Structure 1
Amino acid sequence: MPSPPDFTDDFRSGLITLLRWRRDVRRFEPTALPEGTLERLLELASIAPSVGLSQPWRFVVVESLKRRTAVRDCFERCNAEALTRFSGERAALYARLKLAGLDEAPCQFAVFADHTTRQGHGLGRMTMAATIDYSAVMAVHTLWVAARAEGIGMGWVSILDATEMAEILDTPPEWTLIGYFCLGYASEEHDMPTLERECWEHRRPPVVIRR
């Protein structure tokens, strides 16, 4: 049996720094990532935990200009509709926020969860089917942190219509959209999340209930 690695105080301190500096990036440099970078990050994402070892994540890398344009159009429509749900100062603030990096990010991909996968034989999800989606989210987070450790930024675009996205990307009906992601080198760095800097919301301590 192999011995576990020795995670030193320095390692733990570095990990905390990495987690604190992970950002939802919206402003990217147009510089392409080195060849093979995305593939390597997707491999790292696939060591994320998953219910029953089902590995239900499905990555759709979007390279077609036509499809990217369709995704951007979908975002613009959904974003305009979202704006109508706010009023006054909150609406003005929402309109000022940059919520996607679709025009600049050199790499774009979608993550789906395959609810029909036979891998894992259904273990752990018979009473909580949503664990398939949760597993795909774990892969997203693993990729996000791995990318940040290499100085690569990632942004999650969630203001999209899932049905329209499935049509744009021509995916099976059994796949559930988890999110659309932009990947590349950030054009600016901050130690505080954008939404906090823009006073949209502030990070709060965890809600803990003891029974």
Structure 2
Amino acid sequence: MTQSPPAQPDPETLAFSEAERAAVYRAIAARRDMRHFSGGEVAPELLARLLEAAHQAPSVGLMQPWRFIRIRRPALREAIAALVEAERVHTAAALGPRGADFMRLKVEGIRDCAELLVVALMDGREQHVFGRRTLPEMDLASLACAIQNLWLAARVEGLGLGWVSLFDPVALGALLGLPPGAKAAAILCLGPVPAFYAQPMLQQQGWAQPRPLSELLFDDQWGAQGC
């Protein structure tokens, strides 16, 4: 079936105002992976707004592979914290000489954040081949876009968000009753924070330094940097 071209949009709907553009770039620059939270709560209407922003993310083949699980029981939150702590110890051992430095870093805010969410990939993903036949990992890329939407929306609402990836996905999946084929991909700590980091926390702590874009941008071939 031949598709008709889309209607020509009103030029006024294409552009954002200078203030709107500045706000978007400010949110991107000010976003931080937060580890320090100050308890409190997230109003239900605000949480719904943030999750709707996440749900508006692009996804390959419009498969919308993200599934959000809101953790509400304190005992379940504690069990998740225990899984993260176990992986933290394993990671420190794998880091060898840097293990002791790693153990001094605060890597999560599970017990302190107002809301705890687990984001999982859906089951039955093998049925979706649109855009995934040669790149099956595009389901995870789509999920990451949803998290980024949530991250930026939280930042403009004055809330912090931290992405925790230190866990065994099989163990977390069993804890949350994920069906076969589904996979836990992220633990998200969300809520009020005492302050936002002036720089990424790992940079502030001297763990790593970000590289400039100029070192990561090539022309035509890998490693070929422009003038």
Q: TM-score range with shorter-chain normalisation?
A: over 0.9
One of 165, 176, 184 as aligned partner of 1:169: 176
SS at match of 2:196: coil
Is residue 73 of structure 1 aligned with residue 82 of structure 2? yes
Amino acid at match of 2:68: F
The CA distance in 2 between the partners of 1:58 and 1:85, in whole Å, is 30
Aligned residues: 209
Q: Paired residue for 1:100?
A: 108
The CA distance in 2 between the partners of 1:136 and 1:86, in whole Å, is 28
Q: Paired residue for 2:189?
A: 182
Matches within 5 A, 1:106-125: 106-116=114-124, 122-125=129-132
Amino acid at match of 1:162: P
The CA distance in 2 between the partners of 1:144 and 1:157, in whole Å, is 13
The CA distance in 2 between the partners of 1:64 and 1:126, in whole Å, is 39
Offset from partner CA, 1:166-191 (integer Å, 9 cap, x none): 01111112112220101001122222
SS at match of 2:120: strand
The TM-score normalised by the length of structure 1 is: 0.92
One of 30, 36, 39 as aligned partner of 2:48: 39
The 10-residue stretch of structure 1 (55-64 or 33-42) with the greater mean CA deviation from structure 2: 33-42
Detail structure 1 runs of 4+ shifted over 4 Å in the superposition. none
Instruction: Report if aligned partners of 1:29, 1:105 keep a CA contact under 8 Å in 2.
Output: yes
**Structure showing greater Rg:** 2
Report the alpha carbon displacement of residue 165 of structure 1 after superposing the two structures with TM: 0.4
The CA distance in 2 between the partners of 1:115 and 1:129, in whole Å, is 13
Question: Could you say what the CA RMSD is over the residues aligned between the two structures, in angstroms?
Answer: 1.8
Is residue 84 of structure 1 aligned with residue 93 of structure 2? yes
Q: Paired residue for 1:160?
A: 167
Instruction: Report if aligned partners of 1:54, 1:118 keep a CA contact under 8 Å in 2.
Output: no
The CA distance in 1 between the partners of 2:93 and 2:134, in whole Å, is 38
Report the alpha carbon displacement of residue 69 of structure 1 after superposing the two structures with TM: 1.2
Q: Paired residue for 2:223?
A: none
SS at match of 1:199: coil
One of 62, 65, 83 as aligned partner of 1:53: 62
Amino acid at match of 2:73: S
Amino acid at match of 1:94: F
The TM-score normalised by the length of structure 2 is: 0.86
Amino acid at match of 1:51: V
Over 3 Å counting, the alpha-carbon distance change for 1:118 and 1:76 in structure 2 is closer
The CA distance in 2 between the partners of 1:86 and 1:103, in whole Å, is 25
SS at match of 2:25: helix
Report the alpha carbon displacement of residue 36 of structure 1 after superposing the two structures with TM: 2.4
Instruction: Report if aligned partners of 1:108, 1:183 keep a CA contact under 8 Å in 2.
Output: yes
Report the alpha carbon displacement of residue 122 of structure 1 after superposing the two structures with TM: 3.3
Instruction: Report if aligned partners of 1:114, 1:132 keep a CA contact under 8 Å in 2.
Output: no
Unaligned runs of 5+ in 1: none
One of 18, 25, 33 as aligned partner of 1:9: 18
SS at match of 1:210: coil
Over 3 Å counting, the alpha-carbon distance change for 1:87 and 1:174 in structure 2 is closer
Instruction: Report if aligned partners of 1:24, 1:156 keep a CA contact under 8 Å in 2.
Output: yes
SS at match of 1:84: helix
